[in-house]
């Protein structure tokens, strides 16, 4: 299962049910002629210059693979501290950053230590601030 790093405010919003999607910039950025999103049966995602959304573009250099798939589960990585029998999460500590814990950064979190699992519901492409972005809608399943 793939992990995604979220900061403390994002984790709090996910737990509260206020955050239900995230964006990631598409790399590489499509050129001006590649404007429309297309999918094939293998889950590949294409941006193409054709004016219909289900056109299958093969071998023309426009293929851009989405890092996520609908139905895929990802676990939430966040800053944490492990004691002998418990795991504490930075998003739960409300002391304005002052604490006696030595926090481990989110990139070191393993799947077993995560408390949130997210399932991808929908993936779409949008232009935002002059950049094309994957927009991923998710739901909490754990």
Give the pLDDT score at 134. Answer: 86
Q: 26 with 64: CB under 8 angstroms? A: yes
With a cut of 50, say whether residue 57 has pLDDT above it.
Answer: no
Condensed to tens digits (0 to 9), the pLDDT of residues 61-108 reads 556 778 888 899 999 999 998 888 888 898 887 765 546 778 899 999
* Confidence band of 34 (pLDDT split at 50, 70, 90): low
Does domain 2-28+69-140 fall under CATH 2.30.130? My reply is yes
Q: 117 with 136: CB under 8 angstroms? A: no
Residues 4, 5, 10, 15, CA torsion sign: positive
Give the pLDDT score at 5. Answer: 96
With a cut of 70, say whether residue 40 has pLDDT above it.
Answer: no
Give the pLDDT score at 120. Answer: 93
Give the pLDDT score at 49. Answer: 54
Instruction: Decide which of 111 and 62 is more confident.
Output: 111
What is the average pLDDT value for the chain, to the nearest integer? 80
Domain boundaries, the chain: 2-28+69-140, 30-63
Question: Diameter of the chain by CA atoms?
Answer: 58
Give the pLDDT score at 42. Answer: 65
* Confidence band of 124 (pLDDT split at 50, 70, 90): confident
Two structure tokens written together for 112: 């077993």
Most confident of the ranges 25-29, 51-55, 102-106, 113-117: 113-117
């Amino acid at each position: 299962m793939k992990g995604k790093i979220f900061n403390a405010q994002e984790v709090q919003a996910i737990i509260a049910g206020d955050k239900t999607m995230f964006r990631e910039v598409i790399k590489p950025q499509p050129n001006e002629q590649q404007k429309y999103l297309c999918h094939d049966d293998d889950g590949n995602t294409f941006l193409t210059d054709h004016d219909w959304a289900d056109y299958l573009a093969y071998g023309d250099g426009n293929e851009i693979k989405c890092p996520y798939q609908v139905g895929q589960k990802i676990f939430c990585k966040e800053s944490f501290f492990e004691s002998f029998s418990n795991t504490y999460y930075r998003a739960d500590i409300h002391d304005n950053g002052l604490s006696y814990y030595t926090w481990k950064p989110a990139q070191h979190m393993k799947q077993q230590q995560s408390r949130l699992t997210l399932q991808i519901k929908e993936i779409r492409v949008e232009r935002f601030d002059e950049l094309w972005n994957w927009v991923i809608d998710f739901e909490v399943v754990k």
